[in-house]
A and B are shown apart, each in its own frame.
Chain A
C-alpha cells in the first residue's frame, strides 16, 4: 500500500511566522503535489514537483514556496503566514508509469491567528 504521511494533523501559527509543512511518501513516486482545500473551492494546486530539486507553480502559488531535496520528501513553506492561509493542506504523490492516480496524505489543518 502506498503511504503518504504529513508531519502534523493540526497546526496553529501566528501571523508572520514561517511555517513548514512536510510530506513523505514511501513508494518511490516521482511526482508530488501540494493542494489547499477550502469549502466550496475544492482542491487547488499550489505547487508540484516531478523530480528532486524540480518544482512547478500550480494555480495559487502566491505566498508559498516548496522544497524537494529528496525524492520521498516534499515540503511546503509559508514564508510569512497570513490569516488567509488558514486552510486544510493536502499532499499527494503519483508514479510516472501508473497512470495519473494521485495518492493523498491525511491533510494538515493549519490555523493562522
Chain B
C-alpha cells in the first residue's frame, strides 16, 4: 500500500517567519494530496489539497507544491501567526476505487511570539 513519510516531526518558528513541511510518498500513481490541521484538543480539518495534475496551489498564506518526479509534496506557511500552531498531517490517495487516504505521522508546529 501507499507509504507516506513526513518531516520534520516538530518545527518551531518565530512569528512572521515561514514554515515548510515535506512529505514523500511511495506510489507514483497516487493522485490526490491533502493537508489537515489539528489544533490542540480539536479534530483534524482540511486546509488545502492538490491533485496530481497541478504543480502548485496557494490559498492566502498557505501553499502546497507537488513534485511528481521526486514523489514529494510540501506545505508552505508564510508570515506565521500564533494561530498556526498545530499538528499538520499530509496524506496521499492511491489510485484505487475507494476513498481512503494514507496519512503521514504529523508535524507539530509551534509559532513563537
A interface, size bucket: 20 to 34
Closest to A35 in B: B103
Residues of B within 8 A of A31 (CB): 98-99
Contact A58 B105 (CB under 8 A): no
Q: Beta-carbon contacts of B80-103 to A below 8 Å, as 1s and 0s?
A: 000000000100010000111111
Query: Which of B12-20, B43-51, B53-61, B71-79 forms part of the interface with chain A?
Result: B43-51
Separation in Å of the B44 CB from the closest CB of chain A?
5
Docked Cα-Cα span, A58 to B2, in Å, equals 12
Q: How many residues of B contact A (CB 8 A)?
A: 22
B67 contacts A by Cβ under 8 Å: no
B104 nearest CB neighbor, chain A only:
A42
CB distance from A94 to the nearest CB of B (A): 5
Q: Mark B31-45, 1 if CB is under 8 A from A, else 0.
A: 010100000001111
Q: Is A74 an interface residue (CB 8 A)?
A: no
Which residues from A are CB-within-8-Å of B32?
Answer: 99-100
Chain A interface (Cβ < 8 Å from any Cβ of B)? 4, 31, 33, 35, 40-45, 48, 50, 56, 58-59, 90, 94, 96, 99-102, 104-107
